[in-house]
Structure 1
């Protein structure tokens, strides 16, 4: 049976996760479909990469949320006082930075990767921002904090700052510094600099 669009996206995410370059001819052949069928179902190569990368990001975020829930239950802050959304975002960035397939994609195709990941009209960044809005909204609703600006504005700043640190090796020839990112994001969200780096 011919794969659905969702099945194609999951298969593409699996290729990225394994560090395999997305060659659409080979990929379509492995799925048992033509390239034209592939394009009809999921769009061009960059659109497919965007959907697959968001699929990986969404799974990574869900895993980070489950880790918090296993350790802290429904608490909005942990024993150290760290806000749930900040801990989840820290774990999310760490998991993405440590994903060898994702890093290989960034290393092998930096221009394509940055375009796909950061295009404000693309298939990754708008959905990542929406996921961050929902993550922070839970903490607002549960009484964790009151943001100084709208959640949409705050999450725009969070995602863009996170990208600047997560992709800093490609964007600015600097090694990613996730500790600095966590400290700055905590200051942005809470309106104060943590007493010690997270």
Structure 2
């Protein structure tokens, strides 16, 4: 098999999704390539783990966006007045918090998981910030709200705040509190905290 980088990332994402440990030697053997070829195509284990986590995150974010469109079409606010971007972000965070593979990764490899998920120069955090920036921009452009700060700064703040709450069990020995996070993000975005 001549596994492409895209195929390698997809297989790695399947492993993470199932809660299996990402073992580079076993993955190379399963794909029928050498470890050297695997590393040449996708980088080291943390690089591949970051790409796999981003693939799962991107799918989750797109799923949340589709769910909004199914429920509310192109509306910027739901019937209760909630902003589309906040609803999508909350659904995304809830899915991430409840993802069994993610929870296992955080429990079994907390240092690696946090480093890969929150590295500002890594494969996950900058892309989540960009995705949040797009969601916020879309609602600003549609006249949904006027942010108190520029959208990129707001997206950065939301992501960092979200990381603090989502991974609080690892970072601060506290249970993740998505309700408190949702309240804080809502105030930050829609009421200019």
For normalisation by structure 1, the TM-score amounts to: 0.96
Partner Cα distance (2:182, 2:192) in 1: 13
> What is residue 146 of structure 2 aligned with on the other side?
146
> What is residue 14 of structure 1 aligned with on the other side?
14
Kindly indicate whether residue 131 of structure 2 is the aligned counterpart of residue 126 of structure 1.
no
> What is residue 3 of structure 1 aligned with on the other side?
3
Q: CA deviation at 1:32?
A: 1.1
Partner Cα distance (1:162, 1:83) in 2: 17
Q: How does 1:81-92 map to 2 (within 5 A)?
A: 81-92=81-92
Q: CA deviation at 1:192?
A: 5.7
| CA-based RMSD | 0.9
For structure 2, the residue ranges without an aligned partner over 5 or more in a row are none
Give the match's secondary structure for 2:160. helix
> What is residue 70 of structure 1 aligned with on the other side?
70
> What is residue 107 of structure 2 aligned with on the other side?
107
For structure 1, the residue ranges without an aligned partner over 5 or more in a row are 194-198
Large movers: runs of 4+ above 2 Å: none
> What is residue 31 of structure 1 aligned with on the other side?
31
For normalisation by structure 2, the TM-score amounts to: 0.98
Partner Cα distance (1:16, 1:148) in 2: 38
Residue-by-residue CA offset, 1:22-77 (whole Å, 9 max, x unaligned): 11001111111111111000000000000110111000000000000000000000
Count, aligned residues: 193
Give the match's secondary structure for 1:82. coil
